[in-house]
Amino acid sequence: MSSPIPFEQARGIAASAEALPAVRRSLEEGIGCVLSEPVTAQLDIPHAATSAMDGWAVTAAEEPQWALRSDRADRPGIVLQPLAAGEAVAVVTGTPIPKGAHSVLRSEHGYIDHSGSQGTRLHATPGTPDLEPHRNIRPTAAEAHTGQLLCEPGRILTATRAATAAVAGYDNLAVIPPPRVRLILTGGEVITSGHPAPGQVRDVFGLALPTMLGAMGADLVGSDRIDDDAAALVDLMEKNPPDVIITTGGTAGSPADVLRPALTRLRARILVDSVAMRPGHPALLARHNGTYILGLPGNPLAGFAALAALGEPLIRALRGITPAATSHALRAGSALQGPRTGVRLVPVQVTQETVQPLPHTSSHMMRGLAEADALAIVPAGGLTTDQHVECLPVPGSPGPIGGRAHISIR
C-alpha cells in the first residue's frame, strides 16, 4: 500500500469516472436514469380542447336555455358532432369539445325540463359563471405547444417526468443506464445466520449493501462469497465483468488479505491506493478492462464509510449525475475530535442543521452508524462548536442528509 491520498482528491478521482453510454429504454424502465436526450412535446398538450367538468357543452345564447340533444358523451372517449345554434349536449370531464360550443355548463348549475312543448330543454341556474366564453373548457396546447422543451438532458427521469414524457407522446427515451454492480464478499470467517462461534463474525455487508446500492441508483447484478483466496477472487473478477465490482474485506496487508494480490495478478490499474481517512483508510479503487473495482475494508464502519466516500461519487458519475460529489454543510453542535492527519468520518445525528457525534463508532462497530443521519467529515485538528462541518449521506439512509441526497434531483 502506498501512502494514502487526500480525501477530497480520492473522491475527485471516483467522481471523474465517465458516464456510461446511453441506451434506449421504455419509460417504465428508464425511471431513475439520467436523460441523455431532451424531452420535447411531440404534440400539443392537451392535443384537443376538452371539457373540465361533467355537464353540458352549450352554444352562445341570449336566454340561458338550450334544446338538449338526445345523443350524449357519457364517457370521455366519445367524439360528438358539432353543435348547431341553440343546442346543448351532455359531456363528461375529458370529452372533446364539439365544434360550436361556447362553454361547458357544469351539471350542478343546470336542470332539464321535459315538460314544455319544444322538447327537452336545458336551463342554466341563474347567476352561474359557466356561460362566460370558454368556461370549463381546457384549451388545446395550454400545457405545451408541439416542439416545446419539457425536460433537458442530464436530468433524472423521475416517475413524474416519465409520466410527462408519456403525455408528450414518448414510448421510450435515451437514458444512461444504472451501473451494473457485482459484490464479492471475502472472508472465510463470515457467516450469514445464527450466533458466531469464536473466529466467526456475522455478515453486515451482504445484508445492507444491496439496499444501499439500490438507493444510490446502481443495478445489483450478482453477489458471491469467497474465502480469503486470491485465485478465486481473480476468477470471479474476470467472469462477466460488470461496470463496477465491489469487494469487502481483504484490503489490508496480512497474508489473508487477498484484494491487492488479486489486482496485481490481474494487472489492474490502481486509481486510489488507500485514502487519508479514518475509518476506511485501506479503501481502494482500481480499474481493469473498463470495470471499476472498489475495495471496501472488512471492518463494518470502515466499509460503509468507504462506500459513502468513494462508492457514492463513483456511482453518481457513472450515472451521469453532475456534480458527482454530494456533501452538505451543517454546524457542529459540540466539539468534534479530528485525526492527526487526513479526515475522520464521524457518524452524527442531525437536529436543526446541527450535528452531534454518536457513541459506538469505532471501525469494527455498527451501533453508531445505525443511528446516524450523516457522516461528518472532520479535518485534522478537529472542529469546535458552531463551526461548519461538511457531511456525507449515510448510504441508503432515510435520515435528513440521506433523504436530502436522495431527493437532490436535478
Ligand X SMILES: Nc1nc2c(c(=O)[nH]1)N[C@H]1C(S)=C(S)[C@@H](COP(=O)(O)OP(=O)(O)OC[C@H]3O[C@@H](n4cnc5c(N)ncnc54)[C@H](O)[C@@H]3O)O[C@H]1N2
Cβ atoms of 66 and 120 closer than 8 Å: no
Cβ atoms of 263 and 274 closer than 8 Å: no
Cβ atoms of 83 and 91 closer than 8 Å: no
Instruction: Kindly tell me which residue out of 300, 311, 313, 393 binds ligand X, with binding defined by CB under 6 A.
Output: 300
Quick check: 278 binds ligand MOO (CB under 6 A)?
yes
Query: How many residues in total does the chain contain?
Result: 410
Burial class (CB in 10 A: 0-12, 13-18, 19+), 354: middle
Positive or negative, the Cα torsion across 87, 93, 95, 96?
A: positive
The nearer residue to ligand MOO, 136 or 299, going by C-beta atoms, is 299
Instruction: Kindly tell me which residue out of 102, 281, 316, 344 binds ligand MOO, with binding defined by CB under 6 A.
Output: 281
CA dihedral 130, 133, 135, 141 (to 10 degrees): 170
Residue 185 region, left (φ>0) first, then alpha (ψ -120 to 50), else beta?
Answer: beta
Quick check: 249 binds ligand MOO (CB under 6 A)?
no
The nearer residue to ligand MOO, 297 or 402, going by C-beta atoms, is 297
Report the candidate in 136, 90, 134 with the shortest Cα–Cα distance to residue 111: 90
Cβ atoms of 11 and 313 closer than 8 Å: yes
Min CB(298)–ligand MOO separation in Å: 9
Instruction: Kindly tell me which residue out of 55, 96, 179, 280 binds ligand MOO, with binding defined by CB under 6 A.
Output: 280
Quick check: 363 binds ligand MOO (CB under 6 A)?
yes
The nearer residue to ligand MOO, 94 or 300, going by C-beta atoms, is 300
Binding at 250: pick from ligand X, ligand MOO, none (beta carbon under 5-8 Å per type)? ligand X
Binding at 298: pick from ligand X, ligand MOO, none (beta carbon under 5-8 Å per type)? ligand X
The nearer residue to ligand MOO, 250 or 280, going by C-beta atoms, is 280
Which residues, 6 or more positions from 195, have their beta carbon under 8 angstroms from its beta carbon?
Answer: none
Displacement of CA 85 from its chain's centroid (Å):
54
Instruction: Kindly tell me which residue out of 15, 73, 90, 185 binds ligand X, with binding defined by CB under 6 A.
Output: 185
Quick check: 279 binds ligand MOO (CB under 6 A)?
yes
* 302-322 CB burial, b ≥16 within 10 A, e <16: bbbbbbbbbbbbbbbbbbbbe
The nearer residue to ligand MOO, 279 or 368, going by C-beta atoms, is 279
CA dihedral 379, 382, 384, 390 (to 10 degrees): 20
Q: What are phi and psi of 185, to 5 degrees?
A: -100, 120
Instruction: Kindly tell me which residue out of 65, 247, 248, 299 binds ligand MOO, with binding defined by CB under 6 A.
Output: 299
Min CB(217)–ligand MOO separation in Å: 25
Burial class (CB in 10 A: 0-12, 13-18, 19+), 251: buried
Which residues, 6 or more positions from 63, have their beta carbon under 8 angstroms from its beta carbon?
Answer: none
The nearer residue to ligand MOO, 177 or 300, going by C-beta atoms, is 300
Quick check: 368 binds ligand X (CB under 6 A)?
no
Q: Per-residue x/- marks for ligand X, 193-212, CB under 6 A?
A: --------x-xxx-------
Instruction: Kindly tell me which residue out of 14, 213, 245, 302 binds ligand MOO, with binding defined by CB under 6 A.
Output: 302
The nearer residue to ligand MOO, 5 or 19, going by C-beta atoms, is 5
Quick check: 396 binds ligand MOO (CB under 6 A)?
no
Quick check: 344 binds ligand MOO (CB under 6 A)?
no
Binding at 304: pick from ligand X, ligand MOO, none (beta carbon under 5-8 Å per type)? none
Min CB(179)–ligand MOO separation in Å: 25
- Containing 405, the helix (H) or strand (E) segment is helix 400-406
Binding stretches for ligand X (CB under 6 A): 185, 187, 189-190, 201, 203-205, 248-252, 257, 279, 281-282, 297-300, 302, 363
Binding stretches for ligand MOO (CB under 6 A): 278-282, 297, 299, 302, 363
